[in-house]
A and B are shown apart, each in its own frame.
Chain A
């Protein structure tokens, strides 16, 4: 047991999560700290309506996974953003299943970015130039770009959130930047080469 100096402001996320193993309700303190931020991210990606559901879901998933939290990371934000990204992806996949089911019964199967609801919402909220650039990215690149650009995660934190090595983040960033640059109109032959090479 430790003294008070460790408790209020200095009680980091990792410690809180540790406590929540034996004291599950204390996990709500993590919600209090980060729910607004996760909600913002979810709202940007899925729209305000779905963001409510997503945020609740993120923290429930986080709660259930708390025993496996790597407590050497004092800040839980990358972990929460990682979960949020997967919950967003789940919505995207659910939409895709529905789309596939519709296709089976004869409805014309859409095949573009804009038909996938999650990404469509993301795109709708953006300037056309950005939306167009997003369509050229695959899911992994999109997740990474938006974690860095919208959630302000460092590359290290983004790697943690996405569960990939930092090297993967760097190469993925390099690739997606080239794609975005091309979509913006500033074609860079070297980037092009990097993408295919």
Chain B
């Protein structure tokens, strides 16, 4: 600070008492209450929603926790096995508009519990997932997450918080996004290129928005973004035969990708793997049925112990995705809304209400002082956060637990966020 006038204020800054421990704890708890109401479930991993498919998975330690209760939601048993194709030789599905495609999977991934001073513990968390998607994208989908017991981090013992945790299940509504450019429904996936080169071009085009250059801390290259997009296209979805064959061939051509035969998925089924070094000292392999090119799951193996903090060769991500089936309707269950899983098609141009633009004004008090709430970001928020107001809904799966926030699904689906710092011509909101 080289300006005397500013330095005078800096030096004259009033001494203030520290934030009282009690008030601080109260504020933090209020925040956590709000956060708990907002729900915390892993979102489907469709690539086009994964603006940050490169995210880590964290859980927070230290807040009072809401965990999934051990009780199954309402004893619903969707009839799936009857329509499931025989493993290994799945007949191609022939779904009709109005129906739903159900994809089940078992997944395991690293979870870090984060406390005030950094990572408190780590584990490999597991869940069983069922995802129903409307065949033509006309209706909301459904996600069932059933918690499974965590496994210890390689060469470590299971953290106490993980051992004590009671995992349950939850149904989450997946909003239909008919206006979105990239959608995970069968009808939409059927329109993807059926030829490898065109599919490759599509993947690079669709993932271009996720390429980042020196923004934030990690640079995401075009190949890495394309690779992540491929993952997103495969996980929780069912691709028609032509598209999955094209995608397999296209993925082989992404720089860094290597083909390995006989790689086992999370259900110990062997397939052909397309592997690529991933961030964090891992090799990630996408595993496919050798003949049908059905996606079977993924496996991430540590290649750099220092980066991964786990011995070389240990497996830290492991998935088995099972054959898809067609069902006529969704199970009739109480759902909770999906937080953050919003449509990409904004109902209005992206604006940032947290940054209301100040109208250039030299008057001591701008006119927005007259608005009753006087606070534009407090206005009922848009559909980007439909769940924030829903904390009182009494979702059936909530149960108190003591001292840690339970396993959190990886946050892989973030809405695209844009903001421009410019003076806005918009006048402040006029109130009464």
Contact = CB atoms under 8 A, between A and B. Distances in A.
Contacts of A146: 9
A48 B15 CA distance: 10
A63 B43 CA distance: 19
B5 A181 contact: yes
A48 B109 CA distance: 44
Interface residues of B, number: 113
A68 B421 CA distance: 13
Interface in B2-50: 3-10, 12-14, 16-20, 23-24, 26-28, 30-32, 34-36, 38-43
Given A44-B14, A149-B6, A28 B358 contact: no
B182 to A, nearest CB: 18
B251 interface: no
B12 A126 contact: yes
B323 to A, nearest CB: 25
A19 B9 contact: no
Question: Chain A interface secondary structure, helix, strand, loop or mixed?
Answer: helix
B421 A43 contact: no
A9 B119 CA distance: 9
B280 to A, nearest CB: 2
Interface string A22-39: 111111110110011001
A180 B5 contact: yes
B30 A60 contact: yes
B31 A23 contact: no
Contact of B5 (A139, A168, A177): A177
A3 B19 contact: no
27 contacts: A2-B54, A3-B282, A3-B304, A5-B281, A6-B56, A10-B217, A19-B57, A21-B414, A24-B36, A28-B28, A28-B62, A51-B16, A60-B34, A61-B354, A63-B34, A65-B354, A68-B355, A68-B384, A72-B215, A92-B369, A129-B8, A139-B364, A145-B9, A149-B1, A159-B421, A162-B358, A184-B8
A64 B382 CA distance: 10
A122 to B, nearest CB: 8
Given A26-B408, A55-B19, A55-B27, A96 B339 contact: no
Nearest to B42: A22
A145 B355 CA distance: 19
B157 interface: no
A164 B357 contact: yes
B318 to A, nearest CB: 12
B356 interface: yes
Contacts of B215: 72
Contacts of A5: 280-281, 306-307, 309
Given A21-B413, A21-B414, A28-B32, 16 more contacts: A5-B307, A7-B118, A22-B340, A24-B38, A26-B59, A29-B114, A55-B24, A68-B384, A70-B418, A79-B355, A83-B377, A93-B374, A96-B365, A140-B362, A150-B13, A180-B5
Contacts of B412: 22
| Chain B contact surface mostly | loop
A6 B271 CA distance: 31
A61 to B, nearest CB: 6
Contacts of A145: 6, 9
B205 to A, nearest CB: 22
Nearest to A119: B364
Contacts of A20: 35, 411
B427 interface: no
A107 interface: no
A44 B217 CA distance: 33
B91 interface: no
A14 B213 CA distance: 15
A6 B26 CA distance: 30
A165 interface: yes
A74 interface: yes
Nearest to A8: B118
**Number of chain A interface residues as a range:** 35 or more
A27 B35 CA distance: 8
A19 B56 contact: yes
A184 B12 CA distance: 14
A150 B354 contact: no
A35 B116 CA distance: 12
A108 B386 CA distance: 45
Contact of A35 (B19, B110, B357, B415): B19
A114 interface: no
Interface in B256-282: 278-282
Nearest to B302: A3
A119 B421 CA distance: 27
Given A35-B19, A36-B18, A67-B417, A22 B377 contact: no
Interface string A140-175: 100001101110100000011011110010000100
B417 A68 contact: yes
Contact of A126 (B4, B14, B59, B363): B14
A75 B35 CA distance: 21
